[in-house]
Amino acid sequence: MKPYQTALKAALAAVLMAAPASNAFAADITVSAAASLSNAFKDIAAQYEKQYPQDKIKLNTAGSGTLLQQVLQGAPVDVLAFADQETMDKAQAQNVIDTKTRRNFALNSLVIAAPKDSKLKVNTLGDLESGQFDRIAVSNPASVPVGRYTKAALEKAGIWNALQPKIINTQHVRQSLDYVARGEVDAGFVYNTDAALMKDKVKVLKTVPTEKPVSYPIAVAKQTAVRKEAERFTAFVLSPKGQAVLNKYGFKKP
């Protein structure tokens, strides 16, 4: 073989070896997270990418029930973060997650929010039966955790059925928050962290006790093709850096 051919062969070999190596540890990580996590997870994703610039976080947010249906219908996802244990239990029962990676990473609280300039008050849940409250935003309890927490609290108070004519159903907690902020409803059930995002437009009338803690679980999806990176993102959420971001947005440690 002539010298230039040998050199060319060596150069080509070097290029072929180098090309995959440059992307060997790069990954697109699709994270499906509950709507109430939108702002916090955008911040966490930015910090994660700064620490691991070879990775890219693709954030998908919606109601927890919607996210579960998406993955059951074949949508690609690497990490799931829900706003309640029930949805994650369903994911586990459907063999969607790697159960060994399931962890609780945050706590929240349920509140009744009203437009900032509202004069209405809520001392007990029974006050919602008053004629002063005509429209109350509640997320769909069949698919949205905040709706399930709300329904359980109102059923315990014995007023769930009585309030049905007043309830405006929403697709997720952020839609309820928007309705309150725009004054389209007299009150809405949202998370404390959501109300905190719009302090200039909404105020909290009452914190609502829940029988089950408003806890958020996270897990790696079984179908992931980037397991190492998905586990690394999950670990980042649970790390002091991730927890500091969550705390900034009002979430508590589990």
Annotated binding site for molybdate: 36, 64, 173, 191
Rounded to whole angstroms, how far apart are CA atoms 92 and 217?
A: 12
> Is the Cα dihedral 140, 144, 145, 146 positive or negative?
negative
Strand partners, 202: 115
Q: Which two tokens stand for residue 199?
A: 């302090």
User: What's the DSSP call for residue 209?
Assistant: P
Residue the block writes with tokens 């910090």: 47
Length of the chain: 254
Rounded to whole angstroms, how far apart are CA atoms 129 and 103?
A: 39
Residue ranges at the known binding site: 36, 64, 173, 191
Neighbours of 169 (CB within 10 A): 14
Strands (E), 63-213: 79-81, 103-108, 110-115, 136-139, 167-170, 187-191, 202-208
DSSP letter string, 165-178: GGEEEESSHHHHHH
Note whether 78 and 219 are within 8 A (CB).
no
Note whether 224 and 166 are within 8 A (CB).
no
